[in-house]
DNA sequence: CACTTATTTGAATAGTCTTTCAACTGTTCA
DNA sequence: TGAACAGTTGAAAGACTATTCAAATAAGTG
């Protein structure tokens, strides 16, 4: 007899308690955004105030192109948004969770 | 005259407000742990209960070797710990922040 | 309109990461 | 002791990622 309906084997029951694969995948994608030093810095800068691409490049001492590439990544994850102002584009945070998550992480890193 | 001591140029002042490079680097390293689906799943499993390597492999439907490699990464980040019990090694979460961060992220992912 | 400035984009390169496979260590048990 | 089991480790392969460079777009200015 093979455990008919009453109890659940522990592997099955563990699987049922996990978020579905789609959610886990999105979760990982989300955290990946914070998992690169350049992006982490960009997010912290924009947490302080909205900035133009060139300003970000100056602060981070990186090429404008590199910054722009990372902004595209962050934009596609809906974490930042860019608004055109004449020739320039001003970037700001596009998600309330960002501050919360950054604070969470900073607390952890500083405590450890 | 070049701005002698009174005001600060905006780039300099922005740099001063950011956490130092070391902190940012650690922060990114920390988030990177959550930024891979396999590791995210492992952390969620261990959030439910402590598990042996083989159990984890069964739940995730992955090779024991792959799971072991990721456990090493998580161990070196001090997020999980393994305790030998005879032939087997039982893994559990080694950091209180993990649950908090996972919840933060899950809330975000589900709301979006 | 030509010219400069701000930013984006695509291709290429160099580096990193995840998984697999095979070999190895350590433990139990007959 | 030796066979079986649980897990770790190192090397290798393949997939990804970040940055650079050069070229393209787009807006403002003389």
User: Per residue in B15-40, pLDDT tens?
Assistant: 999 999 999 999 999 999 999 999 99
Nucleic acid strand D within 7 Å of B63 CB: no
Q: Which domain holds residue A98?
A: 10-110
Phi, psi of A80 (to 5 degrees): -135, 160
What pLDDT, in 10s, does the model give residues B74-94? 999 999 999 999 999 999 999
- Residue A2's pLDDT band (cuts 50, 70, 90): very low
Classified as helix, coil or strand, A81 is strand
Residue B2 inside a domain? The answer is no
The partner residue sitting opposite A26, judged by closest CB among B24, B27, B109, is B109
Count the domains in chain A.
1
Residue B1 inside a domain? The answer is no
Contact A48 B17 (CB under 8 A): yes
Residue A40 inside a domain? The answer is yes
- The CATH number of whichever domain residue B26 belongs to comes to 1.10.10.10
Nearest of B45, B72, B109 to residue A33 by alpha carbon: B109
| Count of CB atoms situated within 10 Å of the CB of A54 | 13
Q: What percent of chain B has pLDDT over 90?
A: 74
Residue A58 inside a domain? The answer is yes
Q: Which of A5-19, A53-67, A80-94, B38-52 has the lowest mean pLDDT?
A: A5-19
Residue B52 inside a domain? The answer is yes
Residue B4 inside a domain? The answer is no
Q: Cα–Cα distance between A13 and B63 in angstroms, integer? A: 20
Nucleotide nearest to A75 (CA to C1'): C8
Contact B101 A106 (CB under 8 A): no
Residue A69 inside a domain? The answer is yes
């Amino acid at each position: 007899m093979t455990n008919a309906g009453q109890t659940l084997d522990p592997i099955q029951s563990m699987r049922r308690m996990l978020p579905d694969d789609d959610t886990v995948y999105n979760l990982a994608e989300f955290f990946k955004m914070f998992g690169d030093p350049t992006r982490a810095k960009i997010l912290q800068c924009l947490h302080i105030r909205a900035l133009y691409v060139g300003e970000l490049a100056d602060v981070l001492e990186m090429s404008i192109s590199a910054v722009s590439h990372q902004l595209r990544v962050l934009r596609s994850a809906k974490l930042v948004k860019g608004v055109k102002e004449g020739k320039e584009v001003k970037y700001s945070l596009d998600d309330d969770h960002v501050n919360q998550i950054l604070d969470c992480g900073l607390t952890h890193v500083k405590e450890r």
